A and B are shown apart, each in its own frame.
Chain A
Amino acid sequence: MTKEEEARLVQAIRAGDGDAFETLVREHQTRVYNLALRMTGNPEDALDVSQETFLKAWRTLGQFRGDCSLGSWLYRIASNLSIDLLRKAKRRQTEKLVSLEDPGEDGRPLELPDVSGDPQLLLERAEGRQAVLECLDQLPREQKLILVLRDVNGLSYEEIGETMNLELGTVKSRIFRARARLANVLAEQGTFDRPTASKKLSKDRRG
């Protein structure tokens, strides 16, 4: 959608045009829904968050100045709503233990685990994908969010910067740190062989 088309759409929605509103929803629903799905972890919450995202966007359309893309603006709303929901859920029940500090900030090396063989092959299989998604859930929210925006939604660094209000350089390093964290979680779970830790892994690898 070009800037002009976007502006026209925004105008129409402001005027209460239901069709225009639905066009907006259909245009962005896949990314918004998947963002919410990965962040909240279940389809019901994802649907709620997605609907609320679009309704909130409509209610606050006056704040949209076109200085970022409509998409980025929507993803920002969806991110905030997802995180709000996670916070509420956390208050209700004790979340599974998630360390919130960033690797690299707590002294641990900020590097990808040393892997041998071809991890790509394993990860491309269905169980590999499932393992990655499960490990993604163990990341701190912000790291999870940035990886969802990048890898699931396929946003460019620029769009991620708009959505999360970050500088491009920060986007780049945060994505890397999130990936390093994810790879380390994967390695700990034994999703792929890590020669340096193979002894340990063979002991506590689960079926």
Chain B
Amino acid sequence: MEDHGYWQEQLSAFVDGELSPEEEAELREHLEGCAGCRSALALLRGMTGALASAEEEPPAALPEGTRFLFEREKTDRKFILKRWRFTAIAAVVCLALLGFGTQAPRLFGGNTAKTEAVSAPMAIADESPTASLMEADEAEPAPAEAQKGATLRASGGGMPTPEPAPQAPAAADSAVYGSANGAWSGETPAEDSGEAQENSPDTAAGTSPYYMYSTEGLPGYAIYQELENAGGWYCVCFVYGEMLPSIREDRICVALESPEGQERWKIPLSVFTKEGLREQFNEIYYGDQLSQEVLVIGILDMEEEKWLP
């Protein structure tokens, strides 16, 4: 008899209906003269038949429970997003009150490679901010709105007053969940802005339409104002589960929102780079609609519900 292994493997594929017509004809011819293969075929059919009949009906709890978890997770994310805004604003106010020195503006330009992007929130915090800013400054000029956001952030050591504390959270929420477009025209951000531009104009570092901010000292209201002025789309990047920099692709989730205040998308992101963001949104979700205003404005540990360091 010929090669047992060959014929048996062919038999296995034959049982699955995965042979080509030629192979099948060849096998049938062989079967006629080979009792061993005939009983092997019976064995294979018996085994596959036994397994095929083992299929069970899933419990009703599967679709129902999954749907429930889905809805809950949607709500949770919304909740966390709201909380996040509040926290961001509170953090800025606290920093201002405590008189911390100028916080390093944690943002950098659009040319960042993936590895840098992944480790950025940690790395930038430890290193001199100047390096990344200089790098950023070499690129094209920043949009005005970005400058405003950046300078606002850098103004922690100066004049900011506690006033935004009661106002800002409400404003933050309304900007996204409501429709009060004027909510940002409070006096404090304006003051902040002026002050900061005098003190540290070099912190205006946005060089591309894409920014990545670390979470520390994040002036949420400034960014949202900036977004509103820009009239575009923006997204918030959450990281949940494992911490940076050992970031897992499937653990990054992005919420994309329109400036009018509607929460539009919550979508996971596979590539944690600004380029990745842009590409993915443009390509898949918005076509040309998303022309420039893509911002990653914060990174949050979804499981711990706290900022990543």
Q: Which residues of chain A have a CB within 8 Å of any CB of chain B?
A: 14-16, 18, 21-22, 25-26, 29-30, 32-34, 37-38, 43, 47, 50-51, 54-56, 58-63, 110-124, 128-129, 131-133, 136, 147-148, 150-154, 156-157, 172-173, 175-176, 179-180, 182-183, 186, 192
Q: How large is the interface on B (under 10, 10 to 19, 20 to 34, 35 or more residues)?
A: 35 or more
Top-4 shortest CB links A-B: A123-B46, A151-B51, A33-B58, A120-B46
Shortest CB–CB separation between residue B243 and chain A, in angstroms?
Answer: 18
What's the Cα separation between A37 and B284 when bound, in Å? 35
Residues in A whose Cβ lies below 8 Å from that of B51: 129, 132-133, 136, 147-148, 151-152
Judge if B67 is at the interface, Cβ distance under 8 Å: yes
Q: Is the CB of B268 within 8 A of A60?
A: yes
Contact B71 A50 (CB under 8 A): no
**Given that A112-B8, A172-B13 are contacting pairs, would A29 and B46 also be in contact in the complex, using a CB cutoff of 8 Å?**
no
Partner of B56 from A15, A34, A117 at Cβ < 8 Å:
A34
Complex Cα gap A179–B15 (Å): 12
For residue B194, CB closer than 8 A to chain A, the reply is no
Q: Out of A29, A56, A110, A157, which one reaches B18, CB within 8 Å?
A: A157
With A62-B269, A128-B46 given, is the CB distance from A176 to B9 under 8 Å?
yes
Q: When the two chains form the complex, which single residue of A25, A34, A50 contacts B67, counting CB atoms closer than 8 Å?
A: A25
Whether B47 and A63, one on each chain, are in contact in the complex, defined by CB atoms closer than 8 angstroms, is no
Give the complex CA separation of A61 and B45 in angstroms: 38
B267 close to A47 (CB less than 8 A): no
Contacts of B56 in A (CB 8 A): 33-34, 37
23 A-B residue pairings within 8 Å (CB atoms):
A14-B267, A25-B67, A26-B63, A29-B62, A30-B55, A33-B62, A58-B70, A59-B268, A61-B267, A63-B249, A63-B268, A110-B5, A111-B4, A115-B42, A119-B43, A129-B50, A129-B54, A132-B47, A152-B55, A176-B8, A176-B13, A179-B44, A186-B47
Inter-chain contacts of B266 with A (CB < 8 A): 16
Contact, CB under 8 Å: B55 / A29:
no
Residue of chain B at shortest CB distance from A38:
B54
- Tell me which residues from 165 to 219 in chain B have a Cβ below 8 Å from any Cβ of chain A: none
The reply to whether B62 and A55 form a contact with Cβ atoms under 8 Å apart is no
Partner of B73, one of A30, A55, A120, A176: A55
Decide yes or no whether B128 CB sits under 8 A from chain A: no
Minimum distance in angstroms from A176 CB to a CB of chain B: 4
By the criterion CB–CB under 8 Å, are A55 and B267 in contact?
Answer: no
On chain B, the residues within 8 Å of A50 by CB distance are 58, 62, 66
Q: Is the CB of B65 within 8 A of A55?
A: no
Contact with A along B17-52 (1 / 0, CB 8 A): 010000000000000000010011011111111111
Do A63 and B270 touch across chains, with their CB atoms under 8 A apart? yes
Q: Does A179 lie within 8 Å of B55, measured CB to CB?
A: no
Contact A115 B67, CB 8 Å, known A16-B74, A38-B54, A56-B250: no
A55-B8 in contact (CB<8A)? no
In the bound complex, how far is the Cα of B48 from the Cα of A182, in angstroms?
11
B57 at interface, CB cutoff 8 A: yes
List B54-88 residues whose CB lies under 8 Å from chain A: 54-59, 61-63, 65-67, 69-71, 73-74
- Chain B residue numbers with a CB within 8 Å of A111 are 4-5, 8
Q: Give the residues from 251 to 290 in chain B that come closer than 8 angstroms, CB to CB, to chain A.
A: 253-254, 264-270, 280, 284-285
Chain B residues contacting A124 (CB-CB under 8 Å) are 46, 49-50, 53
A113 to B42 alpha-carbon distance, docked (Å):
12
> Across the interface, do A112 and B40 meet the contact criterion of CB distance under 8 Å?
yes
For A26, list chain B residues within 8 Å (CB).
63
Q: How far is the CA of A130 from the CA of B266 in the complex (A)?
A: 45
Bound: A50/B48 CA distance, A:
24
Contacts of B269 in A (CB 8 A): 62
Q: Could you tell me which residues of chain B, from 96 to 131, have a CB within 8 Å of some CB in chain A?
A: none
Q: With the chains together, A154 CA to B55 CA distance in Å?
A: 10
Whether B292 is near chain A, meaning CB under 8 Å from some CB there, is: no
- Given A34-B58, A50-B58, A180-B8, output 17 extra A-B contacts at Cβ < 8 Å: A21-B66, A30-B58, A33-B58, A47-B62, A61-B267, A62-B270, A113-B43, A115-B42, A116-B39, A121-B46, A123-B43, A132-B51, A133-B51, A152-B52, A172-B9, A175-B12, A176-B8
Shortest Cβ distance from residue B71 to the other chain A in the assembled complex, whole angstroms: 6
